Amino acid sequence: MNPLSAHPAGVGSLNSVSPRRAALMALTLSATLLLNACSDATAPRARALMVPPLVRDVQPLPPKQAFLGARASGPTPPMLLAYYPFVERLLVEASIVDKLSITSQQNVILAVSVGTDQNPARVDYRGVWESSANQCDWNATITSANLRAGGTGCLTTPPLYQSADEWRDTILVGGTDAANDANVYATRGGTPNDPHDCAPGETVGCNCPNGSPCHTVSGVQTFTLIPLAATIRLTTPGTAEIAPKTILLPDPSYPTSFKVSSTPATIHGITVPTQALSWRWVPAQGDSSVTAQCPAPLTNNLSNTCSVVIFERGSMIVTARVNGVVQVDTVKVVGSQVRITPTLLTMEPSQTSAGLDPANRFTNTQTVRVSVVDTLGNKIPLRVVVLSLIPTPGTGGHIHSNTASKPVGSLSLPQVSTGQSGEATVTYSAPDPSGPVLIKGRSGGSGSVQVQVQIAVPDLHEYGAEIGAVMIGDNAFHPRNHYAATGHLTALRRLVQRYSQMFPDSAQLQINDTSLELGGLFDIAGDWNTDHVGHRRGRNTDIKTRKACQPGQQGCTCHTSDPLLSDAQQAALLSEWMVLNSSGGDFIIHQPGDRVCPHIHLAN
């Protein structure tokens, strides 16, 4: 009986040539249908794979290759062919080439014919084929998690065995969905469906005399994975490009979507795997940075889109993995742009509340320049710009239920024309409450802009129980109420220390309000109006002198006569305060009958 044979073992290693040449060699292998066992259809026709051209010199991942030789019977252990730990998986050209030559002994009852019923050839033969759950011995397989590329079971009528010189297909491999998903294996056949070798003395079900092997096997099969080349492609669905990778400034009333995909988008009907790794918005030079950044993609979420409201010119930059290769792409946003240029980005709050002495009221102002610039940064004349102010609720220490109505100050004009010079000016007046205020400018057909001006009193520092006193007075409106200027805080610390030394057996002092975190209006009623007069710049602190009523206490007002500090203790405190602030200390004693609970108001 003559064995069937095909290509000689060892067709050469792709590891010794360049990736491009390796791909070319693999693509030129011919597809010849010969004999292959255990398939319910003929082996798949090897196709001429269209590998996309390399762009930007993007090199695909290198090929992977394994060689599996013959075994007398049974399967080969899986050989690790590649490791691709990508949640989106990897698109590869997979190929198995060469065949095994298998000769069965003449008297093996279960030998399967590769010929016809009239002219049987008593030879078992397996060539290149892919496995599935019911296939038989000698099959060749490339497997990854949940992947079986191709065939479905064994034939039950002649010719039972078929083979091909080459199997080639485009498949997805790798992944990180479960344990070992990232591993891709090469294996060679084996189930107990074909006759086994006879052991010495075995007679039942065995017709191989003298313990000789039922099958003689030779040959080597070559397994290859060639990752396919693809180039990153960043687009803006629903927004037309005016030039490659360029769009006009969109309407900031609606978000703009960005999507990362690839060129080509599919290969042999399979979408090229992509995974966004990061998004970054970079404003154009000279434009404000108002546009929010897209959040980083969540791990393993396969999200390749970013939606963001754009206010200024700039570039969206995405870093993504495209079929295993990390690449970067950019879309530019261009067009005319409103430009708002404050003289100051930080300014102190005004003092205009009705509770202030008229002599202490004033308004802080600054000049703001307004223009519209083209893509080169040149000012455009005679453009009308509509201006508005936007509050930032929940800032400056104010946590009110009415934060949306937080005062924002005022502009001297609601809209301006840039005139022949291309620039106009307006006056901005700061509000009493601190916190960021956005100055917004919009002009028809141009990108809007929002510039933040921070309203704040400088040099304020938070303090607490570490100074040796009890902190009181915080509430839901103003949960943090102990911010002081450096000089005031230094004097306050020393006062608490001296009091502890003078009255070591007394309870700690109870310190109420100083200022909010950024200073400015301290509206104790949370109404943007009721002014806690004096507590604006971190230079005034209240020390409680009498106990307040307990919840539900009958016949009690805030001005209960039960003292926290004796007259002697109060006198000592005030005397020490004046010594510590000899160049400008002051105090007010609030007695029962005042609109607030009794306390000492210390100032410097």
pLDDT tens-digit map of 431-443: 999 999 999 998 8
Minimal CA–CA distance to 416: which of 371, 372, 385?
385
CATH 2.60.40 fits 231-334, yes or no: yes
Per-domain boundaries in the chain? 14-227, 231-334, 337-455, 460-603
Strand order from edge to edge, sheet including 140-144: 79-83, 183-188, 140-144, 147-148
Which secondary structure element, helix H or strand E, spans residue 423, and what is its range? strand 423-429
Q: How far apart are CA 564 and CA 598, in angstroms?
A: 10
| Percent of the chain clearing pLDDT 90 (strictly above) | 43
Instruction: Identify each DSSP E strand in 230-336 by its residue range.
Output: 231-235, 246-248, 256-263, 266-267, 270-271, 274-283, 305-308, 314-322, 325-334
Do 231-334 and 337-455 come out as alike in CATH topology? yes
- In this structure, is the dihedral angle defined by the CA atoms of residues 319, 323, 325 and 328, taken in order, positive or negative? negative
User: pLDDT category, 165, cuts 50, 70, 90?
Assistant: low
Please tell me the least confidently modeled range out of 188-192, 258-262, 302-306: 188-192
Task: Classify 463 as helix, strand or coil.
Answer: coil
Q: Is 602 in a helix, a strand, or coil?
A: strand
What is the pLDDT, as a whole number, of residue 480?
Answer: 95
Question: Do the bridges between strand 166-173 and strand 90-97 make them parallel or antiparallel, or are there none, so unpaired?
Answer: antiparallel
Top-confidence range, 144-153, 234-243, 343-352, 445-454 = 343-352
Whether residue 130 contacts residue 148, with contact meaning beta carbons closer than 8 Å, is answered with yes
Q: Provide the mean pLDDT of the chain.
A: 77
Question: How many CB atoms lie under 10 A from the CB of residue 337?
Answer: 29
Query: 3-state DSSP call for residue 21?
Result: helix
* pLDDT value, residue 488: 96
487 dihedral zone (left: phi>0; alpha: psi -120 to 50; beta): alpha
The confidence band for 422, taking pLDDT boundaries of 50, 70 and 90, is very high
CATH fold for the domain made of 337-455 = Immunoglobulin-like (2.60.40)
Q: Which residues contact 505 (CB under 8 A, 6 or more apart)?
A: none
DSSP 160-176: -EEEESEEEEEEEE--S
> How much is the average pLDDT of 11-24?
33
Is the per-residue pLDDT at 90 higher than 80?
Answer: yes
Sign of torsion over alpha carbons 460, 466, 468, 471: positive
Asked if the model's pLDDT at residue 116 lies above 70, the reply is: no
Residue pointed to by tokens 């291309």:
422
In the predicted structure, residue 208 carries a pLDDT above the cut 80: no
Torsion of CA 506, 511, 512, 514, to 10 degrees: 160
What is the separation of C-alpha 333 from the centre of its chain, rounded to a whole number of angstroms?
22
For the stretch 123-152, pLDDT in tens is: 333 333 333 333 344 566 677 765 644 433
Residue range 419-444: average pLDDT? 95
Two structure tokens written together for 55:
């762009």
Q: Please state, in angstroms and as integers, the Cα–Cα distance from residue 457 to each residue in 321, 380, 398, 515, following that order.
A: 47, 37, 15, 10
Mean pLDDT lowest for which of 56-70, 261-275, 345-359, 546-560? Answer: 546-560
- pLDDT over 50 at 268, yes or no: yes
Q: Is the pLDDT of residue 300 over 80?
A: no
Q: Which of 147-156, 348-357, 532-541 has the highest mean pLDDT?
A: 532-541
**55-69, 386-400, 545-559: lowest mean pLDDT where?**
545-559
Determine the pLDDT at residue 572: 93
Assess contact for 82 and 66: CB atoms under 8 A.
Answer: no
| pLDDT recorded at residue 7 | 29
**Is residue 6's pLDDT more than 50?**
no
Q: Which of left, alpha, beta for 524 (phi over 0: left; psi -120 to 50: alpha)? A: alpha
| Percent of the chain residues topping a pLDDT of 70 | 70
Q: How confident is the model at residue 32 (pLDDT cuts 50, 70, 90)?
A: very low
Residue 483's pLDDT is 98
The pLDDT-based confidence of 269 (bands split at 50, 70, 90) is confident
Q: Residue 262: what residue type?
A: S
pLDDT of residue 411: 98
Asked whether 238 and 254 are in contact (CB, 8 A), the reply is no
Per DSSP, 467 falls in state G
Range of lowest pLDDT (111-120, 221-230, 483-492): 111-120
pTM above 0.85, yes or no: no
Q: Which two tokens stand for residue 92?
A: 């590869």
Do the beta carbons of residue 398 and residue 477 sit within 8 Å? yes
The alpha-carbon radius of gyration of the chain (Å, integer) is: 41
